Chain A
Amino acid sequence: MEQISKDSLKIVVFGALNAGKTTFVERLSGQELFLKGEYESITTSFDFVQIKQQDYLIHLFASPGHRRFSFMWETLATGMDGAILLLDSTVGVTPVDHELIDFIEQYGVPYIIAANKDDIFKMDPEFIRKELKLSDNILIGNTSALNDDNLDNLLDKLIDDINKRNNK
């Protein structure tokens, strides 16, 4: 007989280069990352940490943003329960963001959009929705990873979405 684990979730943070993914998972976890796969401040492999949220053990991964390391996306996405796409508000919506939305949607898991660097520039969520052609049920939130602003709240909402999907 096979057992199914229900008390842990795998969540992966995707985003273009320099969107702030590593800072996002660092601030969200509030601890030193278990793995920080960077070379000269660029994530070349992945970041990894575990946190407790809503009675779940969250396995939180951050992908490399550089297009050159995009072959890691599929490896990291395997078995994920949910995803966060981090946008760099100071840059806007980029072709890599479009590519990442298409990539994430293939997995059919709940995901949210975090428009990061809100402390520098605020990107209108409705502009993002239009640019990325997202349906109304995809949550878009403004965050500042640097200031730890709105990170927990977004993660909670993603977990709620995952719960809803799993309870269907």
Chain B
Amino acid sequence: MDHARRVNIIPQNFENVLLTINRIKGVKDSLVAGLDGIPIGKIDRESSVLSASTVAALGAVRELTKTVSYGDLEQLIVETDYGKIIIEEFGTEHVIIILTEINANIGMIRVMLKKAVRDFTNNK
């Protein structure tokens, strides 16, 4: 493993992926962050906190699935009384974070998200 690797490569056209995702009904906002917990694109306090805590949560949940030998983590969905937060790996060094409305069609969002990420990965 290359421990020294700095996650500072910005994926090309990530804005297009976010635009596609933000058009999905029920999506409030979305963000791409590096696995170093630093947001890609606009860096403000809210996006920084969201990125750092998301990546930490992913790390903790990965540890959970590893500890109980329950496969590889594919997607993390957090449910709150405001809506849902969907977290999915985006390429090998980034994650995409999606905030949804409470009554969003989560199935549709997940399918569209998978497609957007797949299209991005294939077109790199």
Contacts of B5 in A (CB 8 A): 79
> Count the A-B residue pairs with Cβ separation under 8 angstroms: how many?
82
- Shortest distance between the CB of A57 and any CB in chain B (Å): 7
Residues of A within 8 A of B (CB): 1-5, 8, 10, 34-35, 37, 45-46, 48, 50, 57, 59, 61, 71-72, 74-81, 106-109
Q: Is the CB of A34 within 8 A of B4?
A: no
- Shortest distance between the CB of B90 and any CB in chain A (Å): 14
Contacts of B56 in A (CB 8 A): 37, 45-46, 72, 75-76
Residues of B within 8 A of A (CB): 3-12, 34-38, 43, 45, 48-49, 52-53, 55-56, 58-60, 63
Q: Is the CB of A79 within 8 A of B52?
A: no
Known: A45-B56, A76-B56, A80-B36. A108 touches B3 (CB 8 A): yes
- Shortest distance between the CB of B22 and any CB in chain A (Å): 22
Q: Is the CB of A61 within 8 A of B3?
A: no
Known: A61-B37, A109-B4. A75 touches B55 (CB 8 A): yes
Closest to A103 in B: B3
- Shortest distance between the CB of A68 and any CB in chain B (Å): 11
Q: Is the CB of B8 within 8 A of A5?
A: yes
Known: A107-B4, A108-B4. A10 touches B49 (CB 8 A): no
Partner of A8, one of B9, B10, B12, B43: B43
